[in-house]
Chain A
Amino acid sequence: MRSFGRCMMSFALLEIQFSGTISVEIFCPDWWNSKKTMSRKKYDYIIIGAGVVGSMVARWLSRYQADILLIDKDADVCMGATAANSAIIHPGYDPVPGSLKALTNVRANPMWDQLSQELGFAFERPGDFVVAIGEAELPALERLYQQGIRNGVPGMRLISADEMCEREPLINPDVSGALWASTGGICDPFQAAIAAAENAVLNGVEVLLNTEFVDFLMEGSHIVGIRTNRGDFSARWVINAAGIHADQVMHRAGVRPEFQIKARKGEYLVFDSAEITTKHIYFPVPTDKGKGILVTNTVHGNTIIGPNANVIEDKEDTSSTKEGLDEITEGARKLIPSLNPRAAIATFVGLRPMGNARSIDPNVDYGNDFVIEIPENVRGLVNLGGIESPGLTASPAIAEMVVELLKDAGEKLVEKKEWNPIRPARPRFRNMSHAQRQALCETDPAYGRVICRCENVTEGEIIREIHAPIPAVTYDAIKRRTWLGTGRCQGGFDMSRVVAILSRELGISPLEVSKRGIESEFLFRQTKDLEVGGAN
């Protein structure tokens, strides 16, 4: 922690001032050890799951005078579906009119400009296209357009094949037309979610990681807290934002026993930005399996393709398959035929939580809607379930709805005078001009030391992430925050250096540094450190 003090001094002008309290355990180097914790504190709200939905809810609730705890079972926030999706802020022409998906999507899309400014994360609106290949796909564009109008989506236009080719020279020459939606956006979903969670922390929300929900504490039909792997926590309300596991959580309270979440697996490929650059977001014409295999640029400049959609039984199975990668390559080449699979530099796999809830509006015939509710049969639960696409887009509107639901339930939410909507962005060396880099290095020499040469991430940036409001204490946590290790060499150069920095900054042995929490350590022992006569 010595270096933290040093950082705080030399970064006095840049450093975020903590206004809230953070559980000391977060800073404890061995905080992931499963020590039992029994908090005597009675929370007003406990949020289960620090994905984008839980993080946005935490940030929205942090505006009010309340004691709030955000927990996650993983070693970092946002390690589930939030960390592995298409990163698109959808216009809202795709969801079934009248569904919660449509309402929250269209409500939330315009919120992202302000949100990205307040929370300091990358967000762009390149616009999106649904591209029809061949005459047979044309009628689908008209249907989507009409659906968009019904959903209240602004800025849509049907365009000709010629215009499409002009706007993206790489597009399949067999294009027959496209639907253009100017409000389509891209963001870094992890950055967005962690910025929201950090803003919540800065406004007093506590975060506990490696903390897994086990059961509710009930008094009759009243929820009075939760039991976790790290002890019991009292709360007046529990918000279930458990993502793919939200069904299991609500079943523990006896709510919606028929509700079931299935994992819909989606595989993606990431391309080297030096090899291919696409300009916008391109969807194929949707099918009953979803929006289909898309091609999109990211805020980091890489092109990504995917996802396919395979419903699987195992909610932990994030494996990729040869068939799956072939399928998405094939699918993407339908839109951009020149895409060279050899330029792919990474794969990732996301599990979308597909629910089976009927829309609450009886006039809407739709069976995979979001659940956003305070259930009637128990007191003290807000239920968020089946938040698959467009869940990322919808997340700020879902958070807003949670606040409204609590108010309707009689919660007297009093705004804090000191609430600060701003989470200052931390410097990103790679995005800076020569002059800005020079100025940054003068604030702290550690910014001059480049640790990730492909993505130009510096030691100064890494140190600040390790000591951030939500500390990055694993390799992947630093990777997701800084984009380190995501380039051509995929961490080959930086890995040993980052392990050394984490070890030094956290005051732990290199043997304890992990990729993503316990059981994913990098190193086993020192060399020469062997029992006589035996390997292992």
Chain B
Amino acid sequence: MLIKDIYDVVVIGAGPSGLAAAIEAKKAGARDVLVIERDVELGGILLQCIHNGFGLQTFKEDLPGPEYAQRYINEARAIGVEFLLDTMVMDVTPQKRLFLSSQQYGYFALDARAIVLAMGCRERTRAQVRIPGMRPNGVYTAGTAQRWVNVEGYMPGKNFVILGSGDIGMIMARRLTFEGAKVSRVLEIQSYLSGLSRNYVQCLQDWDIPLQLQHTIKRVIGKNRVEAIESVAVDERWNFIPGTEEIVPCDTLLLSVGLIPENELSKKAGVLLDPVTGGPFVDERFQTNVPGIFAAGNVVHVYDLVDYVSIAGDTAGMNAAKYALTESQSEVDYIPVKAGRNVRYVVPHKLDRRALQRGDVQLQLRVTKPIEEDVWLEVRDENKSIVRRSERYARPGEMVTILLKPSMADAVREAISLTVDVYPKAEA
């Protein structure tokens, strides 16, 4: 393929957000849209997610990951999105020059009028959760094991313990059981599940895999290969409770202890990051602080469902195309969006005062702790309520959304700031 010197829109990453962004950018009139993917195939992490549960929102169908991805891949190819596979973006400048490295094309640079960052996220590792003990082989992140089993076709162990109740860990517990391995238990240091409840039911309960809340690993045992782990119960402050130690024989320890947005390239481009989400500060168009650089999906904050990732990609891609075609933007007057009661963060971080005149804006948030009763989700300007809706519960493992509609445009335009609260109805 002929690689051009400059593209209207360059998308970094061909996962769900990148594919959606590329399609919408092309549809919005971008003349040339290039997606750069480090893997040899399109689809990103969806390719190893062979379980179902994808597409319920977007397609009203229950699809496995690769099939969900294929629908976007087909559409992107049909409308003329260009792709560079097996290619790593090494550097991005604030002027939107990208340096690329690939076996096929060598090391080279190209320019973009607009960029969509869609690099996704990475898994937290053993050192980040500080698991002491020996350092034998057999301690892997759940995603690494998932790639081995579902893409490469190899089993990385026979007898597993999983630390962390993240979604990938629970899904792997079921997957490994299908493949004839033993998963003896899942340990979770918190007093509540960190992934989706549906995964707990379908992946652990249905297969009689015990979940031990408020338990963690005191040490890993084994010189060359994991031989066992020592589990221990913890109190609310995560201190080990003496006398609760238990040696659990296993040959593999999988970690499902959280995801971190992958933003090393963003930093090189001068993009500012929110320390709470680990992703860029974005407005409702998913534009970062660097004009013309947009970000979408897990690179912004960690989503629970792929459908929302694709929708974020749509928004970022469309706005990237608009930026590329005009190459300028009128001065925007922003209203800050803040996390209020029981809310860990809200995305977008700021809102164009006139945003609602153009259409709906979805606020996406995560709560700080589980609230297992009827709750209000409320957006307010100082003490003035703008909108509220109810939910039957709110859990940290599940993203919560609230929609701002054009009917609220007047209230928002006059607002000093927007604050989102989640609280039990009983406290209203």
Cβ of B108 within 8 Å of any chain A Cβ, yes or no, is: yes
Q: Contacting B122 at CB < 8 Å: which of A319, A489, A521, A527?
A: A489
Cβ of B127 within 8 Å of any chain A Cβ, yes or no, is: yes
Q: Which residues of B contact A495 (CB under 8 A)?
A: 140, 144
Which residue of the partner chain B has the closest CB to A437?
A: B107
**Interface membership of chain A positions 151-164, coded 1 if the CB is closer than 8 angstroms to chain B and 0 otherwise:** 00000000000000
Q: Which residues of B contact A517 (CB under 8 A)?
A: 224
Q: Which residues of B contact A496 (CB under 8 A)?
A: 144, 147-148, 151-152
Q: Give the distance in Å from the alpha carbon of A102 to the alpha carbon of B182 in the complex.
A: 56
**Interface membership of chain A positions 267-279, coded 1 if the CB is closer than 8 angstroms to chain B and 0 otherwise:** 0011000100000
Interface positions, chain B 342-356, Cβ under 8 Å from A, are none
Q: Which residues of A contact B109 (CB under 8 A)?
A: 434
Docked-complex contact A492 and B102, CB < 8 angstroms: no
Docked-complex contact B134 and A319, CB < 8 angstroms: yes
Q: Give the distance in Å from the alpha carbon of A514 to the alpha carbon of B143 in the complex.
A: 19
Which residue of the partner chain B has the closest CB to A323?
A: B132
Q: Which residues of A contact B149 (CB under 8 A)?
A: 527
Q: Contacting A492 at CB < 8 Å: which of B91, B101, B143, B224?
A: B143
Q: Contacting B137 at CB < 8 Å: which of A349, A521, A530?
A: A521
Q: Which residues of A contact B16 (CB under 8 A)?
A: none
Interface positions, chain A 172-229, Cβ under 8 Å from B, are none
Q: Give the distance in Å from the alpha carbon of A442 to the alpha carbon of B143 in the complex.
A: 34
Cβ of A446 within 8 Å of any chain B Cβ, yes or no, is: yes
Docked-complex contact B101 and A527, CB < 8 angstroms: no
Docked-complex contact B132 and A322, CB < 8 angstroms: yes
Cβ of A519 within 8 Å of any chain B Cβ, yes or no, is: yes
Q: Which residues of A contact B90 (CB under 8 A)?
A: 437, 450, 456
**Interface membership of chain A positions 463-498, coded 1 if the CB is closer than 8 angstroms to chain B and 0 otherwise:** 000000000000000000000000011111101100
Cβ of B267 within 8 Å of any chain A Cβ, yes or no, is: yes
Q: Which residues of B contact A341 (CB under 8 A)?
A: 130
**Interface membership of chain B positions 154-190, coded 1 if the CB is closer than 8 angstroms to chain A and 0 otherwise:** 1111110000000000000000000111100000000
Interface positions, chain B 201-241, Cβ under 8 Å from A, are 218-220, 223-225, 240
A27 → B minimal CB distance (Å)? 23
Q: Contacting A535 at CB < 8 Å: which of B125, B135, B144, B158?
A: B158
A79 → B minimal CB distance (Å)? 12
Cβ of B194 within 8 Å of any chain A Cβ, yes or no, is: no
Q: Give the distance in Å from the alpha carbon of A109 to the alpha carbon of B284 in the complex.
A: 59
Cβ of B86 within 8 Å of any chain A Cβ, yes or no, is: yes
Q: Say whether, besides A514-B137, A536-B182, A438 and B157 are in contact (CB < 8 Å).
A: no
A308 → B minimal CB distance (Å)? 13
Q: Contacting A536 at CB < 8 Å: which of B135, B143, B153, B158?
A: B158
Docked-complex contact A453 and B223, CB < 8 angstroms: no
Q: Which residues of B contact A434 (CB under 8 A)?
A: 91, 99, 107, 109
**Interface membership of chain B positions 115-148, coded 1 if the CB is closer than 8 angstroms to chain A and 0 otherwise:** 0000000110111101011111100110110011
Q: Which residues of B contact A491 (CB under 8 A)?
A: 144
Docked-complex contact A488 and B122, CB < 8 angstroms: yes
Q: Give the distance in Å from the alpha carbon of A341 to the alpha carbon of B144 in the complex.
A: 25
Q: Which residues of B contact A8 (CB under 8 A)?
A: none
Q: Which residues of A contact B154 (CB under 8 A)?
A: 510-511, 523-527
Cβ of B88 within 8 Å of any chain A Cβ, yes or no, is: yes
Cβ of A318 within 8 Å of any chain B Cβ, yes or no, is: yes
Q: Say whether, besides A492-B123, A524-B155, A448 and B102 are in contact (CB < 8 Å).
A: yes
Among A319, A491, A516, which residue has the most Cβ atoms of chain B within 10 A? A319
Docked-complex contact B133 and A523, CB < 8 angstroms: no
Docked-complex contact B158 and A490, CB < 8 angstroms: no
Which residue of the partner chain A has the closest CB to B177?
A: A535
A142 → B minimal CB distance (Å)? 39
Q: Give the distance in Å from the alpha carbon of A534 to the alpha carbon of B180 in the complex.
A: 7
**Interface membership of chain A positions 422-458, coded 1 if the CB is closer than 8 angstroms to chain B and 0 otherwise:** 0000000000001001101110011011100110101
Interface positions, chain B 284-333, Cβ under 8 Å from A, are none
Which residue of the partner chain B has the closest CB to A449?
A: B103
Q: Which residues of B contact A515 (CB under 8 A)?
A: 136-137, 224
Which residue of the partner chain A has the closest CB to B122?
A: A489
Cβ of A147 within 8 Å of any chain B Cβ, yes or no, is: no
Cβ of B104 within 8 Å of any chain A Cβ, yes or no, is: yes
Q: Which residues of B contact A316 (CB under 8 A)?
A: 223
Q: Which residues of A contact B134 (CB under 8 A)?
A: 317-319
Cβ of B382 within 8 Å of any chain A Cβ, yes or no, is: no
Q: Which residues of A contact B264 (CB under 8 A)?
A: 274, 454, 488
B277 → A minimal CB distance (Å)? 15
Q: Give the distance in Å from the alpha carbon of A454 to the alpha carbon of B123 in the complex.
A: 13
Q: Which residues of A contact B157 (CB under 8 A)?
A: 524
Q: Which residues of B contact A510 (CB under 8 A)?
A: 152, 154
Q: Which residues of B contact A438 (CB under 8 A)?
A: 106-108
Docked-complex contact B107 and A448, CB < 8 angstroms: yes
Cβ of B393 within 8 Å of any chain A Cβ, yes or no, is: no
Q: Which residues of A contact B144 (CB under 8 A)?
A: 491-492, 495-496
Cβ of B105 within 8 Å of any chain A Cβ, yes or no, is: yes
Q: Give the distance in Å from the alpha carbon of A518 to the alpha carbon of B157 in the complex.
A: 16
Cβ of B38 within 8 Å of any chain A Cβ, yes or no, is: yes
A502 → B minimal CB distance (Å)? 13
B144 → A minimal CB distance (Å)? 5
B176 → A minimal CB distance (Å)? 10
Q: Which residues of B contact A320 (CB under 8 A)?
A: 132-133, 135
Cβ of A16 within 8 Å of any chain B Cβ, yes or no, is: no
Q: Which residues of A contact B260 (CB under 8 A)?
A: 488
Q: Give the distance in Å from the alpha carbon of A107 to the alpha carbon of B130 in the complex.
A: 40
A516 → B minimal CB distance (Å)? 7
Cβ of A344 within 8 Å of any chain B Cβ, yes or no, is: yes
B311 → A minimal CB distance (Å)? 26
Cβ of A146 within 8 Å of any chain B Cβ, yes or no, is: no
Docked-complex contact A321 and B219, CB < 8 angstroms: yes
Docked-complex contact A344 and B127, CB < 8 angstroms: yes
Q: Give the distance in Å from the alpha carbon of A330 to the alpha carbon of B157 in the complex.
A: 37
Q: Which residues of A contact B126 (CB under 8 A)?
A: 490
Q: Which residues of B contact A319 (CB under 8 A)?
A: 132-134, 219-220
Q: Which residues of A contact B224 (CB under 8 A)?
A: 515-520
Q: Give the distance in Å from the alpha carbon of A534 to the alpha carbon of B102 in the complex.
A: 44
Cβ of A345 within 8 Å of any chain B Cβ, yes or no, is: yes
Q: Which residues of A contact B106 (CB under 8 A)?
A: 438, 441-442, 445, 448
Q: Give the distance in Å from the alpha carbon of A342 to the alpha carbon of B275 in the complex.
A: 13
Q: Contacting A345 at CB < 8 Å: which of B128, B141, B240, B251?
A: B128
Q: Which residues of A contact B88 (CB under 8 A)?
A: 449-450, 453
Q: Which residues of B contact A492 (CB under 8 A)?
A: 122-123, 125, 141, 143-144
Q: Which residues of A contact B182 (CB under 8 A)?
A: 535-536
Cβ of A122 within 8 Å of any chain B Cβ, yes or no, is: no
Q: Which residues of A contact B158 (CB under 8 A)?
A: 524, 535-536
Docked-complex contact B127 and A346, CB < 8 angstroms: yes
A351 → B minimal CB distance (Å)? 12
Q: Which residues of A contact B143 (CB under 8 A)?
A: 492
Docked-complex contact B180 and A535, CB < 8 angstroms: yes
Which residue of the partner chain B has the closest CB to A490?
A: B125
Docked-complex contact B38 and A450, CB < 8 angstroms: yes
Q: Give the distance in Å from the alpha carbon of A317 to the alpha carbon of B132 in the complex.
A: 12
7 residue pairs from A and B, CB less than 8 Å apart: A347-B130, A349-B135, A441-B107, A442-B106, A490-B126, A496-B151, A536-B159
Measured CB to CB, the residues of A under 8 A from B are 269-270, 274, 316-322, 324-325, 341-342, 344-349, 434, 437-438, 440-442, 445-446, 448-450, 453-454, 456, 458-459, 488-493, 495-496, 500, 510-511, 514-530, 534-536
Measured CB to CB, the residues of B under 8 A from A are 38, 86, 88, 90-91, 99, 101-109, 122-123, 125-128, 130, 132-137, 140-141, 143-144, 147-149, 151-159, 179-182, 218-220, 223-225, 240, 251, 260, 264, 267
Given contacts A325-B132, A491-B144, A517-B224, 12 further A-B contacts (CB under 8 A): A320-B133, A348-B135, A448-B107, A458-B101, A511-B154, A515-B136, A522-B137, A524-B156, A527-B154, A530-B179, A534-B180, A535-B181
In the A-B complex, the 9 residue pairs with the smallest Cβ-Cβ separation, listed nearest first, are A515-B137, A450-B88, A520-B224, A449-B103, A490-B125, A519-B224, A441-B106, A520-B137, A523-B154
